[in-house]
Structure 1
Amino acid sequence: MRQISSREVYRNRWMSLREDRISHPDGSPGLYSVVDKPTAACVVPYEDGGFHLVEQYRYPLRRRSWEFVQGTWPGDGPPGEELARAELAEETGLRAASLTRLGRVAVAPGLTSQECDVFLATGLTRGPVDREHTEQEMEQRWVSRAEFEKLVRDGVVFDNTTLAAFTLFLLRSLAETS
């Protein structure tokens, strides 16, 4: 696929939307609409054999969603560990003694350029929560690993980044036991 032209259709401080005219490998024309967003961080807060989750209302889906901590800076803040620590403290009040990068996932590669770095947070201590105004109805709770897996099976945890992060967590756990 080859890009012929690109034009920005919309922009705000969190994302932009562009329309790209493309040429497919056989030469036929096409159009791609792409949401560009900065790299995000997803944090798997692991403690006492379980996970800290947050629940929030996801407007595009018109329902609430239980997830691992995740987010991005508005504009062009640095991705990586600094972002992960900031999101963890903001959404849960937790601070991590150790933050280990588990990998990177593509959020929705057919729609957006956004990728997400996944971190395992351990050695957790509590501090003040400092949520953004848009997170005012966010809830938090700790669940055992067995309960988390049941929430996944029951479709209560359905967020793709959370599911991908759990897969990376499992792969790390398997590697440590082999």
Structure 2
Amino acid sequence: MLQVSSREVYRNRWLTLREDVTRLPDGSPGLYTVVEKPTAACVIPFEDDGFHLVEQYRYPLGRRSWEFVQGTWPADGPPGEELARAELAEETGLRASGLTLLGRLAIAPGLTTQECDVFLATGLTAGAPDREETEQGMEQRWFSRAEFEAMIRDGILFDNTTLAAYTMFLLATS
């Protein structure tokens, strides 16, 4: 697919929405809408053969969602380990003595440029969360691995980044 032209439709400090006119391999025209977002971090807080998860209301879905810690900064914020540590402390209050990069995911490659670095956090120390205003009502809880997997089977845990990150965790720890 070839980009013929591109125009910015919307921009704020967290994302840019653009519309691209494209040409498909057979020469026919196409139109693609792309959401540009900065790299995110997903943190797997692991201790005692279980995971610390956060639950929050996800407005686009109209329901609450249990997830691993996730987040990003505006486009000018540094990605990577610094972001992972900041998100972990912000959402859970936990600090990690060990942070291991497990890999990178494409969040929704048919819609957005956003990718996500997945980190395993170990050696956890409790502290007070420092949540953003948009994280009002966020809950945090530790789940055993058996409870976590039951939540997946029962459709309670459905966040794609959390599920993909768990696959990376299994491959890294098997």
TM bin (shorter chain): over 0.9
Instruction: Please give the secondary structure, in 1, of the residue aligned with 2:85.
Output: helix
In 2: Cα distance, 1:153 partner to 1:37 partner: 31
Runs of 4+ with deviation above 4 angstroms: none
Name the structure 1 match of 2:161: 161
How much does 1:78 deviate?
Answer: 1.1
Name the structure 2 match of 1:102: 102
In the TM superposition, 1:125-140 aligns within 5 A as 125-140=125-140
Give the alignment's TM-score, normalised by structure 2. Answer: 0.99
AA in 2 matched with 1:153: R
Give deviations 1:100-122, integer Å, cap 9, x for gaps. 00000000011111000000000
Instruction: Please give the secondary structure, in 2, of the residue aligned with 1:74.
Output: coil
Unaligned runs of 5+ in 1: none
Name the structure 1 match of 2:10: 10
Unaligned runs of 5+ in 2: none
Name the structure 2 match of 1:119: 119
Name the structure 2 match of 1:57: 57
Count of residues paired in the alignment:
174
In 1: Cα distance, 2:16 partner to 2:153 partner: 34
Instruction: Please give the secondary structure, in 1, of the residue aligned with 2:3.
Output: strand
Instruction: Please give the secondary structure, in 1, of the residue aligned with 2:105.
Output: strand
Give deviations 1:100-154, integer Å, cap 9, x for gaps. 0000000001111100000000000011210000001100000000000000000
How much does 1:24 deviate?
Answer: 0.7
Instruction: Please give the secondary structure, in 1, of the residue aligned with 2:60.
Output: helix
How much does 1:74 deviate?
Answer: 2.0
